[in-house]
């Protein structure tokens, strides 16, 4: 939860004391200073689905509920992206029959995927969805790979779900459909078919968790502290003194496709 004050905060501790966060179920957390007038409260764990959260700052207050938990688990070794909604495996509506040899095809909630190849491995960790873009331009030169070399690229990617500030996405990759469920060929991102990527884009919310692991038995480690964006609001929040998270700072284009 991010609070933006009208001017610079002279006494950070006083500002933190002025912020009250209550939730059911109760959550513990900590404060972080993002700017001289911006303070965020970060929960120590993901907010449980369907939680009630109340925030008050001085004379301004807000109460809202979190939505359902849409959990995505990318399994690098098995080339899959499994989606559950409130613990129940879910997937897009039935599609046309696919080649019978395609691994995992038809399993509930299991989407064939392709992750980063050996030169550009997808980083293992626990993330949250930071933003969603209907389309985004990915340019390899932003990470030091010239566009005109064999590994270079500059292309428009659809249904892009961003999970790190450095540019890791779950997105549509129509050029990689033959590899999905079979091998990892991307520059690090989690690639889905256009239909699966569109469904996931329309299903997931900002703040939902995404876990990337090596294989079915691997232990997942946290890549970063749980960020403020673990809150997803099912109801509108007042936009006076209390605001949602500020936009991502401008960065070079994302590193992988």
pLDDT score of 256 more than 80: no
180 & 53 share domain: no
79, 104, 187, 189: the active-site residue: 189
Confidence of residue 145 (pLDDT cuts 50, 70, 90): confident
Q: What is the pLDDT of residue 212?
A: 97
Q: What is the pLDDT of residue 240?
A: 28
Residue 257 lies in a domain: no
93 & 195 share domain: yes
Active site residue 171: yes
54 & 131 share domain: no
DSSP string, 126-195: EEE--EEEEEEEEEGGGGT--TTSTT--EEEEEEEEE-STT--EEEE-GGGTTTTTT---BSSSEEE-HH
Q: Which CATH number fits the domain that encloses residue 53?
A: 2.60.40.3710
| 189-216 pLDDT per residue, tens | 999 999 999 999 999 988 889 999 997 5
User: Do strands 88-89 and 80-85 pair parallel, antiparallel, or not at all (unpaired)?
Assistant: antiparallel
CA atoms of 36 and 38, how far apart (whole Å): 6
63 & 78 share domain: no
Q: Return the structure tokens found at 175.
A: 């050029």
CB–CB of 186/173 below 8 Å?
yes
Per-position b or e across 3-32, b if 16+ CB within 10 A of its CB: bbbeeebeeeeebbeebebebeeebebebe
Residue 255 lies in a domain: no
Largest CA distance in the chain: 65
Active site residue 189: yes
Share of the chain above pLDDT 90, in %: 41
47 & 111 share domain: no
Confidence of residue 95 (pLDDT cuts 50, 70, 90): low
16 & 63 share domain: yes
Q: Return the structure tokens found at 39.
A: 């303070």
Per-position b or e across 165-201, b if 16+ CB within 10 A of its CB: eebbbbbbbeebbebbbeebbbbbbbbbbebbbbbbb
45 & 104 share domain: no
Q: Return the structure tokens found at 27.
A: 């959550």
Could you give the 3-state DSSP secondary structure of residue 213?
A: strand
**Reduced 3-state DSSP string for 81-108:** EEEEECCEECCCCCCCCCCCCCCCCCCC
79, 104, 171, 187: the active-site residue: 171
> Model-level pTM?
0.70
Residue 209 lies in a domain: yes
| 216-254 pLDDT per residue, tens | 544 444 444 333 333 333 333 332 223 333 333 333 344
State the residue range of the domain holding 30. Answer: 2-67+225-243
CB–CB of 47/207 below 8 Å?
yes
Domain count, the chain: 2
205 & 102 share domain: yes
Q: Return the structure tokens found at 48.
A: 């449980």
CA atoms of 133 and 176, how far apart (whole Å): 20
30 & 136 share domain: no
């Amino acid at each position: 939860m991010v609070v933006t004050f009208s001017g610079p905060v002279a006494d950070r501790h006083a500002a933190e004391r002025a912020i009250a966060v209550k939730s059911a179920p109760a959550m513990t957390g900590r404060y972080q200073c993002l700017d001289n007038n911006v303070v965020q409260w970060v929960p120590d764990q993901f907010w449980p689905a369907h939680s009630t959260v109340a925030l008050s700052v001085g004379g301004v207050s807000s109460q809202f509920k979190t939505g359902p938990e849409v959990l995505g688990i990318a399994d690098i070794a098995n080339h899959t992206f499994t989606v559950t909604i409130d613990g129940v495996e879910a997937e897009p509506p039935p599609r046309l029959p696919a080649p019978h040899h395609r691994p995992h095809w038809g399993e509930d909630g299991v989407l064939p995927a392709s992750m980063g190849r050996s030169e550009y491995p997808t980083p293992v960790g626990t993330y949250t969805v930071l933003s969603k873009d209907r389309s985004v331009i990915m340019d390899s030169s932003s990470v030091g790979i010239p566009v005109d070399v064999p590994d270079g690229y500059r292309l428009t990617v659809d249904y892009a779900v961003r999970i790190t500030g450095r540019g890791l996405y779950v997105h549509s990759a129509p050029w990689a459909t033959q590899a999905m469920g079979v091998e990892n060929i991307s520059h690090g991102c989690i690639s889905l078919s256009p239909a699966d990527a569109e469904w996931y884009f329309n299903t997931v919310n900002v703040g939902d968790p995404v876990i990337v692991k090596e294989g079915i038995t691997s232990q997942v480690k946290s890549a970063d502290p749980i960020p403020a964006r673990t809150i997803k609001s099912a109801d509108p929040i007042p936009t006076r003194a209390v605001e949602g998270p500020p936009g991502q700072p401008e960065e070079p284009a994302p590193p992988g496709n």
